[in-house]
Amino acid sequence: MVLTPSAGPPTALWAIPVSDLAGVARHALDVARTGVPGWRLVFLVPPGDLPRELRAAGAAVLEEPFGPDHGLRPSVAALRRTVRTLQPRLVHTHLSYADVVAAVAVGRGGPALVTTEHGIARDDLVYHRSAARSRAMAAVHTARLRRYDAVVAVSEATAAAVREKWRPARSVTVVPNGVDRAAHPARRPGLRVLSLARLAPEKRLGALLDAFAVLARTHPDATLTLAGRGPEQGALRRRVDRLGLGDRVLLPGHLDPQQAMAEHDVLAMLSVWENCSYALLDAAAAGLGVVASGVGGNPEILPDRCLVDADDPASVATALERQGRDLTARPVLDCWPSVDDMCARLAEVYAGAAP
C-alpha cells in the first residue's frame, strides 16, 4: 500500500513492534475498527498476522522491518522513513521497544510523541531476569520519557508504577482498555474452569493446579482447561500427572478466546501482575465467573469477591466454586468504558499532545 500525507484529518501513526495476535494486538484492532475521532490512523507494524488482521478491519497499514526481530538500526530507519513520507501530526507507540525507537528516531520539532504503557509491573523481576537489567532499563525509560508529549497508562496501577519507576516529567493519563458488552446466551452454573494465559512462571499456573486439585476432591464434575503455549508446558503436564488429574485437566494449546469462554463457566487468572487484562474484561462481559489474584489493575476491574491470594489453594478453590455455582456472585461491568469511550479519551489525549 502506498500512503501519502493526509489532506484531511491529521494523521496519527501507531507504531507497534510485534506482529502476533497476543497482547497489544487486541487493543490495536479495537481502535482500528472504531477509529479515534478527528484523526486518520495509520499502523506501522512488522510483517505477520497483525497487519493481515488490521487490513481486514479496514485499517491503513505499512509493513516494515520494525521491532526487536529486525534490530534497532533497521527499526529506527523504518520509523524515520515512515515519518518523512506520511508527515504525521503524532506518533503513538506501544510496547517499550517502540518507545525507545521513537525517542531515537523522531527529532525535536517533529511529530508529537504519545506512548501507552500496557505492561509494566511493580516488581521489575516479573519482566527482567536480573536487578541489574531492571535498573538499566529503568534508566532507559526515564530518559526516553523526556522526549514524550503524553503518557497513557491502561490502569491506575500501571500509572502508579510508571510514576514510581520512571519519574515522567508529564502527568500520566489513565485510559483503560474499553470493552463492549454484547448480548450473550444465558449462563448456567457449572465448574468448567478456564485459563487463557501464556504457560509461563509469572502466570502462576502451578498454583491454579493446586487449587483445582482441592476443588476436584469434592466436585467430580469440575474440569480445568489451561489454554495457551509457553515454556512451562512440560512442567505443567508433569504436575497434572503427579496430582492425578490427567482426566480432568486439558492443555490444548492455543484456543480461540471467545469460543473457549462460551464453553466454560469460570475464568481463573492468578498472575503475579496484570495491568488491564482483556481476558478478565471479556470474561466479565460474557457473564462468566472470574477468579483472579488481587494484583495490579485487577481490583479496578473486579469486586473483592473475585479476588484471591494465589498462595492459598483452599481459598482459591472456594472462590472457584462460588463463581461457578452462584450466578449472582459473578462480576458485572456496568460502569466500565466501552471501546467508543476509550477512543474518545484517546482523542482528548491527542488534542493535548499535538494541538
Asked whether the beta carbons of 284 and 301 are under 8 A apart, the reply is yes
For 265-303, the pLDDT digits (tens) are: 999 999 999 999 999 999 999 999 999 999 999 999 999
On the question of a common fold for 11-178+338-353 and 192-329, the answer reads: yes
Of 10, 12, 5, the closest CA to residue 346 belongs to 12
Coil vs helix vs strand at 293:
strand
Q: In the structure, what pLDDT confidence band is assigned to residue 127 with cuts at 50, 70 and 90?
A: low
Count the Cβ atoms, other than its own, within 10 Å of residue 61: 20
Q: What is the pLDDT of residue 135?
A: 66
- Look-up of cell digits 479496578: 300
pLDDT surpassing 50 at residue 111: yes
Q: 186 — phi, psi (to 5°)?
A: -60, 135
Q: In the structure, what pLDDT confidence band is assigned to residue 63 with cuts at 50, 70 and 90?
A: very high
Asked whether the beta carbons of 321 and 219 are under 8 A apart, the reply is yes
DSSP code string of 52-69: HHHHHTT-EEEE-S-STT
At the fourth CATH level, which superfamily is domain 192-329? Glycogen Phosphorylase B; (3.40.50.2000)
pLDDT surpassing 50 at residue 95: yes
Of 73, 65, 61, 72, the closest CA to residue 25 belongs to 61
Contacts of 239 (CB under 8 A, 6+ apart): 206, 209
Q: 27 — phi, psi (to 5°)?
A: -60, -50
User: What's the rounded mean pLDDT across residues 1-21?
Assistant: 86
Of 87, 111, 115, 84, the closest CA to residue 99 belongs to 115
pLDDT surpassing 70 at residue 133: no
DSSP code string of 212-248: HHHHHHH-TT-EEEEE--STTHHHHHHHHHHTT-TTT
Q: What residue ranges do the domains of the chain occupy?
A: 11-178+338-353, 192-329
For 141-181, the pLDDT digits (tens) are: 777 788 899 999 999 999 999 999 988 888 999 999 999 98
Q: In the structure, what pLDDT confidence band is assigned to residue 184 with cuts at 50, 70 and 90?
A: confident
Q: What is the pLDDT of residue 125?
A: 52
Q: What is the pLDDT of residue 247?
A: 95
For residue 128, what is its C-alpha cell? 527482567
Of 183, 247, 185, the closest CA to residue 220 belongs to 247
The class of domain 11-178+338-353 in CATH terms is alpha beta
Asked whether the beta carbons of 275 and 253 are under 8 A apart, the reply is no
pLDDT surpassing 80 at residue 347: yes
Q: Where are the alpha helices (DSSP H) in 263-338?
A: 278-285, 298-301, 313-325
Q: In the structure, what pLDDT confidence band is assigned to residue 55 with cuts at 50, 70 and 90?
A: very high
Count the Cβ atoms, other than its own, within 10 Å of residue 325: 15
For residue 354, what is its C-alpha cell? 499535538
Q: 150 — phi, psi (to 5°)?
A: -155, 140
pTM of the entire predicted model: 0.92
pLDDT surpassing 60 at residue 128: no
User: What's the rounded mean pLDDT across residues 86-105?
Assistant: 96
pLDDT mean across residues, the chain: 93
Asked whether the beta carbons of 92 and 14 are under 8 A apart, the reply is yes
User: What's the rounded mean pLDDT across residues 317-327?
Assistant: 98
Q: What is the pLDDT of residue 2?
A: 64
Q: What is the pLDDT of residue 169?
A: 84
